[in-house]
Amino acid sequence: MKRLVIVEDQTAIREMLVEILRLDTNYQLVGESGDGQDALNLCLDTKPDVIVLDAKLPGLNGVDLLRRLVKKLTTVRVLVFSGHENPVLVREMLEAGAHGFVEKTAGLFEFKKGLETVANGGTYFGPAVASLLRNVVANPAASRAADFLTDRGREVLQLVAESHSTKEIAAKLGISIKTVDNHRTNLMRKLNLHDVASLTRYALEIGLVEHKKSP
């Protein structure tokens, strides 16, 4: 029986996955989380065999969370289950250590098939992601829009795009306000963008954050 953690920030989807997988005798659900930083601590504590991971998470995005996890949990298997499958995001998740990527629009059959394959040592891609990967092979430049971003720069960009203040970003990342300002200035210079709204649009374009839904 594989020890499983589910990391998904949309409560309804997370609860649905929990209910489905609790009935599956192949898995023992040892934890669930909707926040990237909490998920990091949870996975390091429970040491699961398999993680179902959403790419878009508050606190710590899926790419950076995955990079940190695979350094500590070298045998963990990871299936990304995400509503976002742009080429930059897919490539970054795979390079970070994901073993499969299924789009949420593919449905539960594809999800369960992907999870079983990944849990048993294989790789699996949903139909939309597989098609996207074929396009990336044909046009590799399309997936490399954010190569120059450092890990810390990506974290700052995400938090800026999530409307956190400089003081809040400094506290979350354990760095000084001046360092946050330096990172933001460097991001604007590298991207040739000149305000927070432009940084936010860029973060949306590369799949680092998602559009906020109206109430």
Structure token pair of residue 13: 């989807």
Question: What is the structure's pLDDT at 212?
Answer: 56
d(CA 206, CA 158): 11
Question: What is the structure's pLDDT at 170?
Answer: 92
Confirm if 24 and 2 have CB atoms less than 8 A apart: no
Question: What is the structure's pLDDT at 147?
Answer: 57
Question: What is the structure's pLDDT at 214?
Answer: 42
Residues 22-52: pLDDT tens digits? 989 999 999 999 999 999 999 999 999 999 9
Task: Name residue 3's beta-bridge partners.
Answer: 28
Q: Which domains does the chain have, with CATH numbers?
A: 2-141 (3.40.50.2300), 151-205 (1.10.10.10)
Question: What is the structure's pLDDT at 4?
Answer: 97
**DSSP label at residue 75:** T
Q: Name the residue type at position 20.
A: I
Question: What is the structure's pLDDT at 91?
Answer: 82
**Residues of the chain scoring pLDDT < 70:** 85, 135-148, 210-215
Question: What is the structure's pLDDT at 53?
Answer: 97
